[in-house]
Amino acid sequence: MQLGSVTLFFLFIFSLLLSQHGAEVYNITPSHPLSEGETLVSPGLIFELGFFSPNSSGNKYVGIWHKDIFPRKVVWVANRDKPIAFIDTLASLRVSSNGSLELVDGKQNSVWSTNVTIQVSSSNTSLVAAVLSDDGNFVVKDVIGAGESIWQSFHHPGDTLLPNMMLGYDIKNRKSSFLTAWKSERDPSSGIYTTELGRRTDMPAQLIIWINRSIPFWRSGPWDKSKFIGIPNMDDRYLSGFKLDENVDQGTKYYSYNLPKETLGYLDLSSQGKLKHMYSENGRNWSLKCESQKNNRCDIYGTCGPYGICSISESPICKCLKGFVPKSHQEWSKGDWTSGCVRKTELFCERQTNKKSVPLQGKKDDDDDGFRKIIRAKVPDYHQYITSLDLEDKFNDCKIRCLNNCSCLAYALVNNIGCLVWYKDLIDLQKFSNGGVEIYIRLAHRELESILTTRDTLREYIGKHDPSELLVYDFDTILTATDNFSITNKLGQGGFGPVYKGVLQDGKEIAVKRLSSSSGQGIEEFKNEMLLISNLQHKNLVRMMGWCVKEDEKLLIYEFMLNKSLDTFLFDTRKRAVLDWPIRFNIIQGVVRGLLYLHHDSYVKVIHRDLKVSNILLDEKMNPKISDFGLARIVEGTQNLENTQKVVGTRGYMSPEYAMGGLFSEKSDVYSFGVLVLEIISSKKNTSFSLYDQQLGLLAYAWNLWNEGKGLELVDEILGYSYSSSEVLKCLHIGLLCVQDNAVDRPIMADIALMLSSDKDCPRPKLPVFTIQNSAYHARSHYESINSSKNEASITMIEGR
């Protein structure tokens, strides 16, 4: 939540003309119009109505604002599209005994009027007055008569929704109430953005922001009775006062909200098309409670077109859903994604329909369509609701009802809503880094192969992929390329064996990893592992080009990284100056994206297990690429029981539970990532001989600095003062959260990605202790690691999605 920008946003200064010390009145009557020297106030002095002029606009308007809150936010404007000239000081707002409310300029010409009147006759008396109520409603009423209002501003909203106002529609009476943004921060005239409650009655309501009332700009996703599910951080607790009133018989649907007493607030549509919920607890200034969207391209409606999915943490942000390909590769490659994607394989049910009347008999189960799950999704537009019949097994019921209708393209079972289905092109689908719901996309059976829910399906996947899809290099070619693995070509010694630089005959540079494991693993098994690894592709992972096996030699061929590994810069007294803060920050962000992919977004979950600075390679633009991912599996698989205590991993980066018990999970990678971040900030590696002090030195040092509020002292002194202290402090904070002793306390990569990209407050990290009881450790670890490494290697490393 960016409070600073909010304050700026409201930084238009009002020339309240004489009103500062002018008279305050409590009503406007036919005998007493409101003129420029005066303001109309509400009985509790909460709201005020009067003439105002946005800074240097040359125009004058009648508007309503909160009386004592600064900077002022005008919540309603009478003549927004018909300003009075600034120099006209004789304008006035008057009511007539027939109930009409009218703004006239200095020449007594009508500028704006309500056009609503009542019948008056001489036989009865009426006293019409215009008053401002304490909730901000400006009301014209007959104070002697029934007291019913003749006209009220709440029925004619501007850009702001106040508590007790309603946003929605009444179909029978063809009435609707929506917000229209200002043209700019200083121009109240009607801008291009409007927001309203979606008009379709057959689906759970959502808010839509339109451009020119015709082009959708943003949507909230459906309302689940306490929040809109397409706003990932919409905390329903904050918004307990929001509600949706629907009356199906009368055809009305209205959205409104209330706040606790003593709290003031409003919801406003900014001139940039963003909804903001502001509140004030002290009655003096405004704070931002939440906003509908960040400045995020994925939030713009349909950025990735039909069947595209937008994820802001990936690059490019748009991808086709699995089983779909770009409609126009040309446009897509240029970054114009709006034409979207098309199905690769026709659905089985479509083929059946197209062939007409071909009986379904004799079909194999294999032919049938199925669904692929997407997690953390903002569901697409045009959701429809179907009432579930089977209350016992709602989920299956929802699935079957979708499967049984060929037009049904996707379904989702959402808490507090029920079974949602989609019959139209799936558009405006987004993948969040947290929040969101699970949605199931219908696909032809053939496209479902990459859905791995269990290890068996993983085997199935491998069985269906031909390992020859990977480039197999001839051993002699590699020998020639690496000069017979000459020492001069050696780039380094990795955890899994030495790495050599090679030059192929066509001049292409490669990196060759020569696995040190002396077999045990069969060639088929090795090929399968290669296939798995080679399918992990992300711009922050080193790309595998192929492999080579000859007798005991197992070689992996990777793309060559021009700038070698991060440690060659970071721990070099001179070269580390190259790593200015923006480069370091970019490296941290890239590593986060790469790990996020390995842990959460690739088709199998992969735990790296040996993350460290020397495994972060740098391309020619100093972008980070993680290397050696997935290799732990291969080495692990080759080891017999006696060796299992030798945990894979590098001292200094190992989480306590891994170092001690050989237990690993994605949280042990998170730990290593934390150490990495602290090293990137400080350029310190703090080597010592002792296995455990080595890292505690740096970690405890960093924690203490942070705890004393001196976190910036950790920064590598070579950077001087040229760094963003907020970025550094955020990275330090995240790093400390990651190295907490207890794996449960550590965030997952998805949390980290979110923390990095938002201003959300992070929890407080605990002091890393990493204490061990020596004898107990040895006695226990041997015992446990045999069991754990065997089981964990096969279970934790790979999880289907």
Ligand X SMILES: *[C@@H]1O[C@H](CO)[C@@H](O)[C@H](O)[C@H]1NC(C)=O
Cβ-Cβ contacts under 8 Å for 230 (sequence gap 6 or more): 206, 219, 220, 221, 222, 378, 379, 430
d(CA 379, CA 611): 35
* Residue whose CB is less far from ligand X, 346 or 466: 346
Count other Cβ atoms within 10 Å, centred on residue 652: 24
Read off the tokens for 253: 């649907």
Q: 510 vs 756, which CB is nearer to ligand X?
A: 510
- Alpha helices (H) along 535-602: 566-570, 581-596
* Residue keyed to tokens 């019913």: 148
Please count the other Cβ atoms lying within 10 Å of the Cβ belonging to residue 763: 12
Reduced to 3 DSSP states, what percent helix, strand and coil does the chain have, rounded to the nearest 5? 30, 25, 45
**By C-beta, is 457 or 623 nearer to ligand X?**
623
Cα distances (Å, whole numbers) of residue 110 to 93, 102, 107, 272: 10, 7, 9, 32
Report in angstroms how near the CB of residue 522 gets to ligand X at its nearest: 25
Least separation in angstroms between residue 572's CB and ligand X is: 11
The DSSP string of 55-90 is: TT-SEEEEEEEETT-SS--EEEETTTTSPEETT---
Q: Is 768 exposed, middle or buried (0-12, 13-18, 19+ CB in 10 A)?
A: buried
Nearer to ligand X, 212 or 453 (CB): 212
Indicate the pairing of strand 252-257 with strand 242-247: antiparallel
Residue 748 is inside which H or E element, if any?
A: none
| 247 vs 484 by CB, closer to ligand X | 484
Query: C-beta of 119: minimal distance to ligand X in Å?
Result: 4
Q: Which residues pair with 59 in a beta bridge?
A: 85
Give me the helix-helix angle, 666-682 and 693-707, nearest 10°: 70
Report helix, strand or coil for 618.
strand
Residue 562 Cβ vs ligand X, minimum distance, rounded to whole Å: 4
Beta strands in 263-407 (DSSP E): 264-269, 275-280, 287-291, 308-310, 318-320, 324-326, 341-343, 370-378, 383-386
Q: Which residues of the chain form contacts with ligand X (CB under 6 A)?
A: 3, 7, 11-13, 55-56, 96, 98, 100, 113-115, 117, 119, 121, 124, 126, 145, 192, 211-212, 215, 282, 284-285, 287, 405, 407, 423, 479, 483-484, 562-563, 578, 620, 622, 686, 688, 697-698, 701, 783, 786-787
d(CA 34, CA 30): 10
Residue (of 289, 245, 237) closest to 266 by Cα position: 289
Residue 724 or residue 787: which is nearer to ligand X going by CB? Answer: 787
Position closest to ligand X via CB: 697
Identified catalytic residue from 610, 669, 741, 751: 610
Cβ-based neighbour number of residue 551 at 10 Å: 7
Characterize the bridge pairing of strands 544-550 and 471-472.
Answer: parallel
**Of 411, 403, 416, 406, whose CA–CA distance to 386 is shortest?**
411
435 vs 697, beta carbon nearer ligand X: 697
Euclidean distance between CA atoms 282 and 264, whole angstroms: 9
Nearest-approach distance from CB 449 to ligand X, in angstroms = 27
Provide the sign of the torsion angle of the four alpha carbons 203, 208, 211, 212, taken in this order.
positive
Backbone phi, then psi, for 10, in 5-degree steps?
-95, 15
Q: How far is the CB of 641 from ligand X (least distance, A)?
A: 8
In the β-sheet with 34-35, what is the strand arrangement from edge to edge?
34-35, 92-95, 101-104, 110-113
- Report, in Å, the least distance between residue 11 CB and ligand X: 5
Q: Minimum CB separation from ligand X for residue 762, in Å?
A: 20
Say whether 170 is catalytic.
Answer: no
Residues 6+ apart with CB under 8 A from 140: 95, 99, 101, 114, 116, 128, 129, 130, 149, 150, 151, 152
* Beta-carbon contacts of residue 358 (< 8 Å; ≥ 6 apart): 352
If the CB atoms of residues 238 and 423 are measured against ligand X, the closer one turns out to be 423
Q: How far is CA 792 from CA 644, 692, 724, 784, in A?
A: 12, 24, 41, 11
User: Considering the complex, what minimum distance in angstroms separates the CB of residue 259 from ligand X?
Assistant: 17
Of how many residues is the chain composed?
801
CA angle 694, 698, 703 (to 5 degrees): 135
List, in order, residues 6 or more apart from 183 with CB less than 8 Å away.
189, 190, 191, 192, 271
Nearest to ligand X of 478, 749 (CB atom): 478
CB of 102 to ligand X, least distance (A): 7
Nearer to ligand X by C-beta: 462 or 702? 702
22 phi and psi angles, rounded to 5 deg: -80, 180
Query: 7 vs 328, which CB is nearer to ligand X?
Result: 7
Q: Are 218 and 293 in contact (CB under 8 A)?
A: yes
Name which of 33 and 136 has its Cβ closer to ligand X. 33
CB of 467 to ligand X, least distance (A): 28
| Minimal distance, residue 188 CB to ligand X, in Å | 14
Nearer to ligand X, 27 or 285 (CB): 285
Separation between Cα atoms, residue 53 and residue 439, nearest integer Å? 50
Residue appearing with tokens 């401002």: 132
Q: Least distance (Å) from ligand X to the CB of residue 124?
A: 4
Catalytic residue IDs: 610
